[in-house]
């Protein structure tokens, strides 16, 4: 029931539609709908980078129109397992709203960044992170930014693929390439007022990415650019990676997702011991049977 399963389910539907669109566009224009011309050596190809930067700027300037065009329908969101204000799954919406409200109550003024990390792999961390970001965006006065920092099991890029934005740069590329700016990695999500930073492609997996000053600076930048923007970081599972603990240090709060009937109190206690107690916002029990 994990995020991957959901996305795999919807992907076939959306891809079919997109496939049709692409074929139609090719017939009409004779070229790809996606304007970014990415190369395999994108790392050293500055021109390509400059192109993408200019294209990104252009894209941002026309953001509203583009987002409107690429928004998921309610039906698609439901298939993806993402909440929306009109959802009939009231228990899920209520649970996510409760989570959001409790997090707001932790910090009365201003925005915050929160790491959402599962206790176990496949524990629904990404699901909760995604829905938390979506729920924050219910409010027209607030926006949310979902950062995919889950090196082991990234999800966001699949979402972007569905809306045809899988060509955008991601977090790892940003950390590896100083020439890339924040604006290059922030993508629309298909959900109003919600942005995402995908994990991006990478040549090596290293935990040192998140200890770098550049990552810290990124977190400061994206949080402080807009004071109504709330940053949600989708971290890897606590038991599989040390990344989660590093990410926790940089975020304002940490939310631990506990799969129902997944771990014993002893395991949870030892995990909680490893993270800063002041930053632990609390526990979310996920996937409780109805």
Partner 1 sequence: MSNITLDEWAPLLSREAAARRGTLLAIFATVALLFLIVAFFWQKKYTSYVQLHVDNTNAVQVVADVKTALDTNEANVARETLFSNDIMDSVLRTVGYIDENSSAIERERIKEQVMEDTEIYNIENQLLEIVYEHSDPQVAFETATQYADLFLEKSMATSSLETSEAFDFIVDQVETYRAKLEDAEARLESFSQQYPGINASTEGNVDSRIVELRRNMEEANLKYAEFDQRRKSLEREISSQRSTMAVEYAASQTASQVAQLQSQVDLLRLSYTDDYPDIIRLKQQINEAIAGANDNARNVTGADRSLAINPLYQQLRNTLTTVTAEADSQRIRAARLKVQLAQEIERSSVSGKVERELTELTRDYQINKDLYEDLLRRKESARLTMVLGAEKQGVLYRIQQPANFPVLPTGLRFMHIAAMGLFLGLVLPIFYLVVFLKVDPRIRTSSAVTELLELPLLTTVPHMVQPNEKPGLLSRPASVFGVIFLVVALYIIVAIIKYMMAAAPQGAV
Q: Which is nearer to partner 1, 56 or 96 (CB)?
A: 96
Give the DSSP H/E element, type plus range, for residue 116. strand 113-118
How would you classify residue 45: left for phi > 0, otherwise alpha for psi between -120 and 50, otherwise beta?
beta
User: What's the closest the beta carbon of residue 199 comes to partner 1, in angstroms?
Assistant: 23
Comparing C-alpha atoms, which of 156, 152, 83, 80 is closest to residue 120? 152
User: What's the closest the beta carbon of residue 80 comes to partner 1, in angstroms?
Assistant: 10
Q: Which is nearer to partner 1, 13 or 69 (CB)?
A: 13
Q: Which residues bind partner 1 (CB under 8 A)?
A: 1, 5-6, 9, 79, 81, 89, 91-92, 95-96, 98-99, 102-103, 124, 127-128, 255, 258, 260-266, 268-269, 272, 280-290
Q: Which is nearer to partner 1, 128 or 231 (CB)?
A: 128
Q: Which is nearer to partner 1, 178 or 289 (CB)?
A: 289
- Number of Cα atoms under 13 Å in the Cβ half of residue 171: 30
User: What's the closest the beta carbon of residue 249 comes to partner 1, in angstroms?
Assistant: 19
Q: Which is nearer to partner 1, 141 or 290 (CB)?
A: 290
Q: Who's near 12: CB < 8 A, 6+ residues apart?
A: none
In the beta sheet, which residues pair with residue 115?
233, 254
User: What's the closest the beta carbon of residue 72 comes to partner 1, in angstroms?
Assistant: 15
Residue 79 backbone dihedrals phi, psi, to 5 degrees = -65, -35
User: What's the closest the beta carbon of residue 2 comes to partner 1, in angstroms?
Assistant: 10
Q: Which is nearer to partner 1, 224 or 269 (CB)?
A: 269
Sheet (strand 194-197) strand order: 187-188, 194-197, 143-148, 229-235, 113-118, 253-259
CB 132 within 8 A of CB 98: no
User: What's the closest the beta carbon of residue 167 comes to partner 1, in angstroms?
Assistant: 28
Residue 266 backbone dihedrals phi, psi, to 5 degrees = -60, -45
User: What's the closest the beta carbon of residue 256 comes to partner 1, in angstroms?
Assistant: 8
Tell me how far apart the alpha carbons of residues 160 and 141 are, in angstroms, rounded to a whole number. Answer: 24
Q: Which is nearer to partner 1, 249 or 287 (CB)?
A: 287
């Amino acid at each position: 029931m994990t995020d991957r399963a959901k996305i795999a389910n919807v992907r076939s539907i959306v891809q079919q539609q997109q496939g049709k669109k692409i074929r139609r566009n090719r017939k009409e224009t004779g070229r790809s709908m996606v304007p970014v011309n990415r190369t395999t050596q994108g790392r050293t190809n500055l021109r390509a980078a400059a192109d993408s930067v200019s294209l990104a700027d252009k894209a941002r300037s026309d953001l509203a129109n583009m987002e409107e065009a690429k928004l998921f329908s309610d039906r698609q969101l439901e298939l993806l397992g993402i909440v929306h204000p009109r959802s009939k799954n009231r228990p899920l919406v209520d649970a996510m709203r409760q989570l959001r409200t409790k997090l707001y109550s932790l910090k009365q003024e201003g925005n915050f960044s929160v790491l959402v990390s599962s206790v176990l792999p496949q524990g629904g961390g990404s699901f909760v992170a995604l829905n938390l970001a979506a729920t924050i965006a219910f409010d027209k006065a607030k926006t949310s930014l979902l950062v995919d920092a889950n090196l082991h099991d990234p999800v966001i890029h699949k979402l972007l693929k569905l809306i045809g934005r899988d060509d955008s740069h991601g977090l790892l590329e940003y950390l590896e390439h100083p020439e890339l700016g924040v604006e290059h990695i922030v993508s629309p999500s298909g959900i109003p007022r919600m942005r995402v930073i995908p994990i991006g492609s990478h040549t090596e997996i290293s935990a040192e990415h998140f200890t770098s000053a550049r990552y810290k600076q990124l977190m400061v930048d994206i949080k402080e650019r807009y004071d109504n923007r709330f940053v949600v970081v989708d971290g890897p599972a606590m038991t599989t990676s040390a990344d989660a603990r590093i990410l926790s240090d940089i975020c304002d709060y940490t939310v631990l997702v506990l799969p129902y009937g997944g771990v014993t109190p002893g395991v949870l206690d030892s995990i909680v011991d490893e993270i800063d107690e002041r930053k632990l916002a609390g526990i979310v029990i996920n996937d409780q049977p109805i």
